[in-house]
Structures are given as C-alpha cells and as structure tokens.
A = this chain, B = another copy of it.
C-alpha cells in the first residue's frame, strides 16, 4: 500500500511515536498536574517535555505559552473567539480551511465581520490585499500557512510584518506546514499559531497546540478544572492553565514529543528538502500526462506537501477510488473541508484529487503513483 495522504494525517509515524504512547499508558499513567505523587509528577514531566520540544521547534522563548489542544481546530476556535469582540472585524483569505472560515462565519450574528481576501488562481494571496482590507476596527488577521487543497504556501512572513506594523494580532493556521516549513514566531511576527500534532509533527491524532504570544489576551471558550487554584470558581489567568481545562492527552503528548524529537534529529531542512524533491517529481510527472490538469504553483518550492489535480472528464472521487481499489494508492478527493478554496481555484463542482507525500515517501512510490495516474487517464 502506498500512502499519499499526509496532508490529512501523516503515516507512517516514526517507530518511537507509537512506542512512547504505549509506554506512557503502561508506565506513566498518572494525571499530570492533578496530584503530587510520583506517577502524577512523571505524567507532568512528559507534558512539560512536549511543551519544551514544541517551543524549541518554533522559536518560542516561554514554553508556558504553548497551550495543548485536541487538534488545530480547537486552537483556532480558542484564538478566533478569544480575541474578536462584538463590533470587531477580521481579515482572512479565500484559501482558508473550514476550521477558520466556519468559526468566523459563526461570529457574524454577534456583529463581527470578516473580509475574505481573494487569492489568485494558483491559490496565492497578495499581502497588499490583506493590508488594503484592514479597517479601524480590525482586531485579527488569520491566514493559513499553506492551502490544504493546493499546498500553496502563503506569504505569511509578509503578512506578519504588515500585521505588526498595524498593531493587529496575527494568527497563523499552521495545519499544513508545522514540522516541515521553518517557523520562528518572533522573526515571522506571529502572535498566535494553531498547529496539529498528527500531521507534519508526526505525532498521534488527538494532539495539537496553540501558541499565545506575549501581550495577547484571550477570553476563554472553555473553563474547568485546571489542577491549579482549585479554590477559585473563576478560571485562573496563568498560562497554560487558563486554556487547558480538564485532563490532557498525556500519552498523545508523549508521542508528539517523540515525533518532534524525530524531526529535530533528521533536521527540518532535510525534511523540507525531501518534500520539495517529492513535490517536484509529482508535479513534473503529472504535468507530462495528457488530460491531467494541475492546480497551484508549478514551482515545487511554493508547495507545502499537497498537490491538487484532476483528470479531464472524471470526477475527483472516481480517480481516487480507482487509485485505491486498482493500485492500492491512498490519496484524497473532494472538497477537503475547504469549499472557499475550491471556488477560488475553480474546482467547486468537480473537487480535486490531492496527493501529499510525507517524509517516508520514496521515489519508487511516486513512480508507481505516476504510472497509475497515466493508466487511469488513458
């Protein structure tokens, strides 16, 4: 079986990931931050190690500003709803995932408006369009690091600089990119960043995080027991407790720390190099097949893993079905939870086939995939 759906969730994981989760459940099963005994402290150490690992990867000085969430969507909701107030305004793009678009739309009845800046046909937004969309009441700019449909990397550093110049908090959706595209929250002027644990960071599903920058104050959307300040009936202010109510996914975080550890050991620049190489082969190979239409930029360096295409006259789900059933190749078809993006690139009716290599994808696997598409397109 050839797995080319790493933009949905990465697979396989480094062997250390499953093992760390297994060992944590069996040997370190206390509740972190809830009791003072050895098992609880050991669980707390596992969580702290993961916080340190994530902070280190993203240039975050204070690991306590890394909030653990159940997935990227959880963190995006916390950030979007925590910062926008009635009468406020947000700027975002037409390439966003529903995890950004739907929370923003859900705020409309509260008098919170959003401008969806249009990307070009390759899925790329122009930072100047973001700047032009800023209003006096703009209190948030949200942008995806890279489209989950076309893989198009957005000029997020340029947008970060604009946000900083205007004194508007900048939230980066790093669902596609964290773990393979270098991110430095300070240099890149990122105030808030939601990231998944189970995609580029190679951790297990059920993990993710939200970085909350210094000087950013968020209202909570969830409150509860934090293992701290139990005497208070109001949510404590300190980080990360303020945003981590209820028991954390300790075994998942043990696995996430192992995933990040793997990335650090290989080097993120090498993982990125491998990705550019894979994207180049896929784009080049698909481009040579008649009846195949590619979306997104032609330059593999402008891609964060995902590449979208269609075979002329065939529904995207038909192509992915044939790849799976006839060739044992796993890709994703359809709208990918991002209807807006498909409107932008012109595939709202047909959807698109998305192929996404991962750090363990081989040249040979890509060759088999290209041959299969060739036969299907014939």
B-binding residues in A (CB < 8 A)? 1, 3, 5, 8-13, 17-19, 21-22, 25-26, 29-31, 34-40, 69-74, 76-77, 81, 97-99, 101-103, 105-106, 196, 198, 204-208, 220-227, 230-235, 245-252, 255, 317, 320-321, 323-324, 330-340, 348
| Chain B residues within an 8 Å CB radius of A231 | 335, 339, 348
Among B71, B105, B205, point to the contact of A233 (Cβ < 8 A). B105
**How near does chain B come to A46, taking the closest CB pair, in angstroms?**
10
| Chain B residues within an 8 Å CB radius of A332 | 34-37, 40
The answer to whether B249 and A330 have CB atoms under 8 Å apart is no
The answer to whether A247 and B103 have CB atoms under 8 Å apart is no
Interface of A is mostly: loop
Among B34, B206, B222, B333, point to the contact of A249 (Cβ < 8 A). B206
Among B37, B205, B233, point to the contact of A340 (Cβ < 8 A). B233
The answer to whether A206 and B12 have CB atoms under 8 Å apart is no
Among B18, B70, B246, B336, point to the contact of A246 (Cβ < 8 A). B70
The answer to whether A105 and B317 have CB atoms under 8 Å apart is no
In the assembled complex, the Cα of A29 lies from the Cα of B221 at a distance in Å of 30
The answer to whether B205 and A250 have CB atoms under 8 Å apart is yes
| Chain B residues within an 8 Å CB radius of A323 | 37
A-B contact pairs, 13 of them (CB 8 A): A17-B25, A21-B21, A21-B251, A30-B330, A35-B320, A36-B321, A37-B330, A70-B74, A73-B246, A99-B245, A196-B247, A204-B251, A231-B348
